[in-house]
Structure 1
Amino acid sequence: GIVWALRASCMGESICLQGLGRRSIQGDAIWSRWGLPLGFSASYNRHGLIIRGLPSRPKEPMVLDLRDCPDLTQPIAAAGVLMRRPVELTGLQTLNGKEIPRLDALVQALENVGVRAQAEGAHSLTFDSSTWNPTEAVHAVDPQDDHRMAFFWALIGLEQPVEWTGETTVSKSYPHFWADWNV
């Protein structure tokens, strides 16, 4: 769900995430409370969670503690880039123990798109993308068989042309992601 909320935020869209209710225990339910810092408003109706991108993107630094949901780091970092904001994410201690060393992979991905990033030990990530400008050059990207990195690159691809390898990586968590994303 968060990748869709961040897409709505970055693109100024509105969407309904059907079936995601107030009492959901999924990590994705946590982020709905962070609407304003992430650039969207969130409300519920009988169908699910309604996300509306704010008319103007926030410019103040994005500072979030992700200790309760570190798996959301990659899409949140991508949104920080697209919103061209300074970002400080903490609570990332478990990221390098996932399918791949996610924090290391994220730092490398950010630097590949021209954003200088710094990991403080294994617990935080900081970067300032306020001067980031996408290029016309197509970036060859590989999510390294990690669906969370694929979501990072999908969001970056909204502004920076990317060429994929490993598109099937998302089949673990969202088998129809690309069909839905490219609508």
Structure 2
Amino acid sequence: MAISITPKQLSGTVCVPPSKSLAHRAIICASLSRGRSVITNIEYSQDIRATIGAMKSLGTMIFEYDDYLEIDGTTTFMRNQCEINCFESGSTLRFMIPISLVCESNLHYIGEGRLGKRPMQVYYDIFEQQGISYLYRENVLDLYIRGRMHGGEFEIPGDVSSQFLSGLLFALPLMDEDSRIVITSPMQSKGYVDLTLQMLEKYGIHIENHDYREFIIRGGQQYQACDYRVEADFSQAAFYLVAGALHNDVLLQDLNIDSYQGDKVVIELLKQMGCQFERTAQGDRMSCQKMYAITIDGSQCPDIIPVMALACAVSEGTSRIENISRLRIKECDRLKATVEVINQLGGQAKEFEDAMEIQGVASLQGGHVSSYHDHRMAMMEAIASSVCDQPVVIDDEQCVDKSYPDFWQDFQSLGGDFHECELG
């Protein structure tokens, strides 16, 4: 089955869902704290459920309610032998590995989809250096680890994934030894590192950040329990902000304009393209009379690239999005998929190894496209329908459950018109 979306203008108000990135971090920090914390404004996406399950596997007591969690980390690390299912969550996998090795442990990590194809060599190199035993299968997540990680000197690249650095930053303060992390290549996704450091500080952990080139971590620290409300997600807000740029009238509620989230840059990018961002007492909206081509450095904001590419597809001139090779190791090869979808909908895009070029057109045609089992591709395609002449047919639309389970309900509340149909 698939869904067929009838092209319609979107109009109305949407409450932006909570940040998945911040929810991951808050759940982990609260779980590592001695005492009780309450995390409010929780949405139970598949990725967040993966992190909740992972911390429970290590012994944390987590009580789930409709939109909040009560977390008691007092018993964390009582279990030193367990299986952790990360499903398709790269954040869960890379955050949890160092955390689960704070004590001597015998672990089995499993997962689904393309998660087993994502790079892990950064951790394997650390295992080799520290004498930690590990065994894995190629291209699937079936990883066995035995041992304990120790503090000390670490050298890791900054251009593979910031999740490796965040994972170490969560775990190393709990080690007996002081630690130092040296970043051996330019740091990408600095915004995500900022979110980690911000959350650690909130829970009583102090890290020295020397211009993202070196991090100094004092050992023997202790997390302090506290309550936290998860702020709205700019990665998800980006879809509605671009919708506004495409002449839809969408009012966004609950945005924190002072957020540390790197994807907040979507506002500045759209303004550079000729759009206007308006803040009111009722919410925020993006509007535009005419958009113009832009050059985007995607290294710091990979998650908003598909929907920004959509904005470029209907802008005047030729846009270029650079430094995006990391998109190839997401839920799908997101660089290739984005170019394919724009072309299938009637746009003009070219794929390069580390970039894409997009020649703007007046409008898109529509047609049958794949979600590639990628939540961000499916949501981009839904927003694209508002500037298409013909229906847009999307397969596997439920992949949005990974990060935004209520997306289709919100899309419908804005006037989105779709129905199920049979493939072929």
1:13 matches 2:244: no
Letter in 2 for 1:88: R
1:51-103 Cα deviation digits (max 9, x unpaired): 2302x1123x2221121001111001111223354221112121001111111
CA contact (8 A) 1:10 1:39 kept: no
Compared with structure 1, are the counterparts of its residues 146 and 84 closer, same or farther at alpha carbon in structure 2 (3 Å cutoff)? Answer: farther
CA contact (8 A) 2:242 2:286 kept: no
CA contact (8 A) 2:291 2:314 kept: no
Q: How does 1:1-183 map to 2 (within 5 A)?
A: 1-16=237-252, 18-44=253-279, 50-54=284-288, 56-59=289-292, 61-83=293-315, 85-121=317-353, 123-130=354-361, 132-135=362-365, 139-160=367-388, 161-183=391-413
The 2-side partners of 1:62 and 1:47 are apart by 30
Instruction: Answer 1 or 2: higher relative contact order, Cα 8 Å, separation at least 6.
Output: 2
3-state DSSP class of the match of 1:64?
strand
Compared with structure 1, are the counterparts of its residues 158 and 45 closer, same or farther at alpha carbon in structure 2 (3 Å cutoff)? Answer: closer
- Unaligned 5+ residue runs, structure 2? 1-236, 414-424
Letter in 1 for 2:286: R
CA contact (8 A) 1:88 1:124 kept: yes
Aligned-residue Cα RMSD (Å) equals 2.2
Question: Deviation of residue 35 (structure 1)?
Answer: 3.2
1:99-118 Cα deviation digits (max 9, x unpaired): 11111111211221233322
The 1-side partners of 2:341 and 2:291 are apart by 23
Tell me the matched-pair count. Answer: 175
CA contact (8 A) 1:118 1:127 kept: yes
- Unaligned 5+ residue runs, structure 1? none
| Structure 1 stretch displaced more, 1-10 or 85-94 | 85-94
Letter in 2 for 1:150: A
Compared with structure 1, are the counterparts of its residues 7 and 68 closer, same or farther at alpha carbon in structure 2 (3 Å cutoff)? Answer: same
Compared with structure 1, are the counterparts of its residues 179 and 75 closer, same or farther at alpha carbon in structure 2 (3 Å cutoff)? Answer: same
The 1-side partners of 2:265 and 2:358 are apart by 23
The 1-side partners of 2:385 and 2:325 are apart by 27
Identity %: 23
The 2-side partners of 1:109 and 1:51 are apart by 26
CA contact (8 A) 1:5 1:40 kept: no
CA contact (8 A) 2:243 2:250 kept: no
CA contact (8 A) 1:9 1:38 kept: no
CA contact (8 A) 1:9 1:40 kept: yes
The 1-side partners of 2:245 and 2:251 are apart by 10
CA contact (8 A) 1:38 1:79 kept: no
Question: Deviation of residue 8 (structure 1)?
Answer: 0.9
